[in-house]
Amino acid sequence: MIKVIATDLDGTLFYPKARHSMIPRKNKKFLERFIKDGGRLVMVTSRSPEFASRVEEYFDLPFDFVGANGGFMKVNGKIIEENFFDPETLRSIVLEVRDAFNPLIFFLSSKDRALVMPRHGINPIVWFIYQLYTASEGCYRERAVRSDHVFFNEIEKGEVNKLMVFIGITKKAKAMAEVLSKKLAATYPDVEVHWLNEIIEITPKGCSKASGVAKYLDYIGVHRDNVLVVGDSGNDVPMFDAFHENSFCMKHAPRTVKNHAKTTIARFCDLEKKLYPSADSKVKSQITSKKED
């Protein structure tokens, strides 16, 4: 019996994007039914503590939050666990990656700041394009600070829970990011590395969506067979592998990501047909096995 839905946000629960209301109406209606029946919702994302607070402003449904890919956990409105990089290790990674790969943008997320990027090395055109993009994000937007001083000061404070490396938006850049993510994982075994198309995410050792969900289930006392996980990106792969029997991947995800999930769905609300099957329904379920996709 499914007692918990652990869901990614961007591209999953928030798909398609509703820039003013955050969550699509059909997705919210399904969750209302699930929570009314005693189920629990935990949002499992790479997003920051600041974004978790923002989601609370848009939702009138109870939910918990595992953020920064397991970097922190918020249950019943309270932060109950936080994990941060060792400052010396993180500084070393930043400098070595910058010199070896020359990425377009670095971002870090910390306990007190949603996004911080260094000023040095960022092409002004790239920065301008980024500002245009964030301006179009509406309620999903996270405020970014661009400053070398703030960037490295956050590292020295020892409260950084995620580093992001932006490679580019072209197909070639995305393919390069996937290759580089594997190289980084092999080069830096003391951290976790995840590929998200054009972005590489790096988190402290042991911090992944899978470990975050496992710790969450232990905390609330729910067996691991009673959770359903759903996502669409490379950082969701650990969840798919760890909770494979009840793993769902969005149809628009890259093939290399879908291969790890047991089932593929077109929309988050399609999960309702899985959890509430109707014997006399004449509507064909949109949930399809990976082989059928």
CATH code at 177?
3.30.1240.10
Cα(283)–Cα(79) distance, rounded to whole angstroms? 42
pLDDT exceeds 70 at position 242: yes
pTM of the model: 0.90
- Same domain? For 156 and 21 the reply is no
Dump pLDDT digits (tens) for 111-134: 999 999 998 777 788 888 888 888
- Same domain? For 198 and 267 the reply is no
pLDDT exceeds 50 at position 141: yes
pLDDT of residue 33: 97
- Same domain? For 199 and 94 the reply is yes
Pick from 3-7, 137-141, 148-152, 280-284: least confident: 280-284
Q: Among 160, 180, 204, which residue terminates a domain?
A: 204
Q: Among 189, 204, 219, which residue terminates a domain?
A: 204
- Same domain? For 78 and 110 the reply is no
pLDDT of residue 63: 97
Q: How many domains does the chain have?
A: 2
Cα(281)–Cα(249) distance, rounded to whole angstroms? 24
70: left (phi over 0), alpha (psi -120 to 50) or beta: left
Dump pLDDT digits (tens) for 185-222: 998 999 999 888 888 999 999 999 999 999 999 999 99
Q: Among 170, 204, 238, which residue terminates a domain?
A: 204
Strands (DSSP E) found in 23-111: 40-44, 64-67, 72-75, 78-82, 105-110
Name the CA dihedral angle for 130, 136, 141, 147, rounded to a multiple of 10 degrees. Answer: 30
pLDDT exceeds 90 at position 282: no
- Give the DSSP letter of residue 201: E
- Same domain? For 181 and 221 the reply is no
- Same domain? For 195 and 91 the reply is yes
| CATH number of the structural domain spanning residue 45 | 3.40.50.1000
Question: Which residues, listed in sequence order, are joined to residue 18 by a DSSP beta bridge?
Answer: 22
Please give the helix or strand (H or E) that residue 244 lies within, else none.
Answer: none
- Average per-residue pLDDT for the chain: 91
Dump pLDDT digits (tens) for 215-226: 999 999 999 999
- Same domain? For 27 and 93 the reply is no
Q: Give the ranges where 188-279 is alpha helix by DSSP (H).
A: 209-220, 237-242, 255-258, 271-275
285: left (phi over 0), alpha (psi -120 to 50) or beta: beta
- Same domain? For 30 and 125 the reply is no
Average pLDDT on 97-101 reads 85
- Same domain? For 54 and 108 the reply is no
- Same domain? For 254 and 160 the reply is no
SS3 readout for 120-177? CCCCHHHHHHHHHHHHCCHHHCCCEEECHHHHHHHHHHCCEEEEEEECCCCHHHHHHH
- Same domain? For 177 and 238 the reply is no
- Same domain? For 17 and 56 the reply is yes
Domain of 282 in residue numbering reads as 4-83+208-289
